[in-house]
Amino acid sequence: MDIFLVRHGEAAAAWGQDPDSGLSELGKQQAIATTQKLLPKLGDAVQVVSSPLLRAQETAQPLLKVRQGELIINNAFREIPAPGPLADRKTWLRGFMKQSWSEQPEDLLQWRANALAQLQQLTEPTVIFSHFLVLNAIVGAIEAQAETLVFWPDNASITQLELGGNGELSLVALGDQMDTVIN
């Protein structure tokens, strides 16, 4: 069964500036382009899931408009929980991305395990709109990578997974990778 992980389009504000920014104008265009790329890959029955954050939900909207579907909000695909005040998150993020999973506290290990468990419980083909580090956590776990950062998914990129009948997840294809830094 196919699972498509879509990183949200470009946000209107940087990660350390707004905890729940919507999409920039470019991000809205990226969401439309991603829908056009997804449509030929999707069968008749597909569920659409999103992080509760606005930028992910807004990225899902063009697909929902075309497919006339319902958006399922799932906290398991929310951006990584960062400690401390908003102004300190960018510094924390830079440090986190240089580490391995063995260095992480229990709450972050549980966050990653929860996302994986939610994927393994899916019963129909699904498109999930989520975030940079969620995609890294999932792909890293599937590929048995120790590092927290295993690839650089671009805004509105599509990473494809397959869920086998035994609940085993496998990577089919990484989405486009970015050339620029995370905003």
Closest-CA residue to 92 (of 155, 20, 150, 16): 16
Flag whether 128 is in a domain: yes
3-class DSSP assignment, residue 164: coil
Residue 16: its pLDDT value, please? 64
Measured distance CA(66)–CA(40) in Å, rounded: 12
Flag whether 179 is in a domain: no
Indicate the number of domains in the chain: 1
Contacts of residue 91, defined as CB under 8 A and 6 or more positions apart, other chains included, come to none
Angle at which helices 54-67 and 25-38 pack, to 10 degrees? 40
Flag whether 177 is in a domain: no
Closest-CA residue to 12 (of 29, 2, 26, 30): 26
Residue written as token pair 């946000």: 11
Q: What is the pTM of this model?
A: 0.94
Measured distance CA(106)–CA(29) in Å, rounded: 38
Q: Are 26 and 10 in contact (CB under 8 A)?
A: yes
Contacts of residue 42, defined as CB under 8 A and 6 or more positions apart, other chains included, come to 4, 67, 125, 127
Flag whether 3 is in a domain: no
Flag whether 129 is in a domain: yes
Residue 13: its pLDDT value, please? 83
CATH code, domain with 44: 3.40.50.1240
Write down how long the chain is. Answer: 183
DSSP 171: E
Residue 182: its pLDDT value, please? 52
Flag whether 18 is in a domain: yes
Residue 15: its pLDDT value, please? 65
- Sheet of 2-7, strand order: 71-73, 47-50, 126-130, 2-7, 158-163, 169-173
Domain interval for residue 73 = 8-170
3-class DSSP assignment, residue 170: strand
pLDDT along the chain (183 residues), means of 10: 97 77 95 97 92 98 92 96 83 94 97 98 96 97 97 97 95 90 51
**Separation in Å, CA 124 to CA 118, 160, 162:** 12, 14, 11
Instruction: Tell me the HSE value of 153 on the side-chain side, using a 13 A CA sphere.
Output: 30
Flag whether 183 is in a domain: no
